[in-house]
A and B are shown apart, each in its own frame.
Chain A
Amino acid sequence: MSSYSVTEPSGRQKLFAGTLVILYALITILPLLWIIGTSFKSPSDAIAYPPKTFFSPTLEGYVNLFTTRTRATEEDVKALGEPTTWYDRIVRKDGFIIAGPSRFMERFSNSIVIGFGSTVLCIVLGTAAAYAFSRFKVPLKDDLLFFILSTRMMPPIAVAIPIFLMFRSLGLNDTHLGMILLYTAVNLSLAVWLLKGFIDEIPIEYEEAALIDGYTRFQAFYKVVLPQAMTGIASTAIFCLIFAWNEYAFAVLLTSGTAQTAPPFIPTIIGVGGQDWPAVAAGATLFLVPVMIFTIVLRKHLLRGITFGAVRK
């Protein structure tokens, strides 16, 4: 009989676990790969049946995403002379000329401003509130905390109509400020609760040590509590950003022009003779990038947080 270790898995177990993880990763990543693939297809390849796994890639989807185009007669196209840029060439191949930029960049930057704006606001307010709830005697603390939590007890969209009316009378409809405030309001309860949990975990002695070492309460908070709460702040920020970034229903309801975010915009990209799927896929692909970068940047904090906790106690 061979000896075995309780903690070190055998080769066969490792193989099994590895296969399982890779299989799961494939299942979850396949739709993403399909979207990224579609973004490089031509419109006809995108709707081909049976679906094409192998195709000749083109940037047509991206060009269509960023531009508006008009059909032009052959003479008109000829009159313009030779196409000067690669994207002109792609467009003219189908008998179109570029009329101007699309609104995608505006919508995308709206998403960035509103998503990150509400995340920052949420983290600032949430950390301050969580610290106060964690460290100070707040009158009616439990009731307040329950009240904050209770705002999560129904889907936010349930209050869409009151919010719509409120925003209309406050002039917040279709404004960046309005959307930032709305997403902050929805996320704040989660942020307070999550962050309170993280701050509760930080022993109060660290701050007391800083107070005795000659620092003020605010300096102790800023220099001692915040660095240790980074794990919690990072994960809370990721949650907040993902919600604000993906939010669709309120964005449809409350924005239409200046403050419209990318989610309601992307599905409205219309091609000629039907939905322009490669352009939609290109929009979705680019839409993924900021959250992905944000999560990868903060991942370091998440991982460090895990090892930190292991040795501290």
Chain B
Amino acid sequence: MAQIRIQNVRKEFGAFTAVQSSSFTVEDGEFFMLLGPSGCGKTTTLRMMAGLELPTSGEIYIDGEEVGMKPASQRDIAFVFQMFALYPHMNVRKNISYPLLSQGMPRAEVKARVEDVARILKIETILDRPVGGLSGGDRQRVALGRAIVRRPKAFFMDEPLGALDAEFREHMAEELRALHDRIGATTVYVTHDQLEAMQMGDKIVVMNHGVVEQFGKPQEIYDWPATKFVAKFIGSPAMNFFDFDGMIDAGDTVIELSGKRVNVPSSRQGAKGQLTMGVRPEHIRFSDASEYRGRVLATEYLGTTQIITLTTPNGEVKARASSRQAVRSGETIGLEFNPGTLTIFEGEKGRALLSEANEGVLRHG
């Protein structure tokens, strides 16, 4: 088990920069998610950590040792591929024992270890079957078995649930997390599914265009996104953005949104020009007392909650409210924002301004 530290790692493929100077740390025993849209560099980052790609520059430390230029076979890590990559010409038992055979482990010990792992994953009955006929879930378990059998320093997983159908994915996600809790191994997991990331991860790195946008615990990232990209990528429906032209000074607790005053957490930074106020759908409340008004366009019933789409002077927004609240399309209602939850983003880069509420989260990263 080990801590993994990535420092200023950069990867270029010819003229294309896949990963731009990224740094983050995966603590020992953490379930760590690399999250981002396709092409954001998350898989390249993982492959550099595993030694399947060499970084153009920067350092990768596993357990305190710099391994950036070491081949994968010398890093003592395990990798679970999206398509599992079980050796098709071997049966389940041989697949799982393959990493042990490379170390020249005695046969009796290999056998014991494989059976041990099979018991953990509940695949004892299929050990002598060829991998060709296995179901997706069993293939997944065999791939995990091949990874954990060696007791490596860390596990790297590249969208391991991506090849499973939706129903089964949920189940495997739980199984994976339970397995991690049981063996406590440092795990780095790549996914483009923000729900999967929040559901399973101890910590999340959000990447976009080869840049680490934010790095932290799922709830910190959800509540206090560092950039507009993160705010939009995480959460469904996404965070609402109210674009406005205006200014905010350090210490201000009020902004002016289309002529109406809105309370915000006390700002630590000043900015002016193009600004955006971000608010999660569940932090919008309806109140006739509010001066800020919007017209209901549509409602979506989701069981316990409903999503209400409104048009406001600052664009379309979505609010989440209890299903019991009666809202009719076409009516105009007042909107109130929970002041402790608001984030102001500045200008084109869309960086979040530090405030009393989010500085605890954003300063450390």
Residues of A participating in the B interface, judged by any CB pair closer than 8 Å: 203, 205-206, 208-216, 219, 224, 227-228, 308, 311-312
Contact = CB atoms under 8 A, between A and B. Distances in A.
B103 A205 contact: no
Given A212-B72, A228-B88, A312 B99 contact: no
Interface string B188-226: 000000000000000000000000000000000000000
Q: Please classify the interface of chain B as helix (H, G, I), strand (E, B), loop, or mixed, using the class held by over half of its residues.
A: loop
A208 B72 contact: yes
B103 A311 contact: no
Contacts of A224: 87
B133 interface: yes
A312 B83 CA distance: 10
Interface stretch (B73-81, B309-317, B333-341): B73-81
30 contacts: A203-B85, A205-B81, A206-B88, A208-B81, A208-B85, A209-B79, A210-B87, A210-B98, A211-B51, A211-B52, A211-B71, A211-B72, A212-B50, A212-B52, A212-B72, A212-B73, A212-B77, A212-B78, A212-B79, A213-B73, A213-B98, A214-B73, A214-B102, A214-B103, A214-B150, A215-B73, A216-B73, A227-B89, A311-B132, A312-B132
Contacts of A210: 87, 98
Interface in B131-162: 132-133, 146, 150
Q: Which of A205, A227, A308 has the most CB of B within 10 A?
A: A205
Contacts of B133: 311
A309 to B, nearest CB: 10
Given A209-B79, A213-B98, A214-B103, A312 B85 contact: no
Nearest to B130: A311
Nearest to B85: A205
B102 A215 contact: yes
A208 B132 contact: no
Contacts of B87: 206, 209-210, 224
Closest 8 CB pairs of A and B: A214-B102, A205-B85, A213-B99, A209-B85, A227-B89, A211-B72, A212-B79, A205-B81
Contacts of B150: 213-214
Given A208-B81, A214-B103, A215-B73, 4 more contacts: A208-B79, A212-B99, A213-B98, A215-B102
Contact of B83 (A203, A212, A215): A203
A206 to B, nearest CB: 5
A312 B73 contact: no
Interface in B87-129: 87-89, 98-99, 102-103
A213 B85 CA distance: 12
Contacts of B75: 212
A88 B25 CA distance: 90
Contacts of A213: 73, 98-99, 102, 146, 150
Interface in B41-64: 50-52
A36 B75 CA distance: 63
Contacts of B83: 203, 205
Contacts of B77: 212
Nearest to B149: A213
A201 to B, nearest CB: 12
Nearest to B152: A212
Contacts of A227: 89
A232 to B, nearest CB: 14
A214 B153 CA distance: 13
Contacts of A216: 73
Contacts of A209: 79, 81, 85, 87, 146
Contacts of B72: 208, 211-212
Contacts of B89: 227-228
Given A214-B103, A311-B133, A208 B88 contact: no
A206 B132 contact: no
A308 B88 contact: yes
A212 B72 CA distance: 5
A219 B77 CA distance: 18
A189 B83 CA distance: 32
A279 B133 CA distance: 53
A208 B72 CA distance: 8
B52 A208 contact: yes
B73 A211 contact: yes
A311 to B, nearest CB: 5
A219 B71 CA distance: 14
A114 B165 CA distance: 54
A255 B15 CA distance: 55
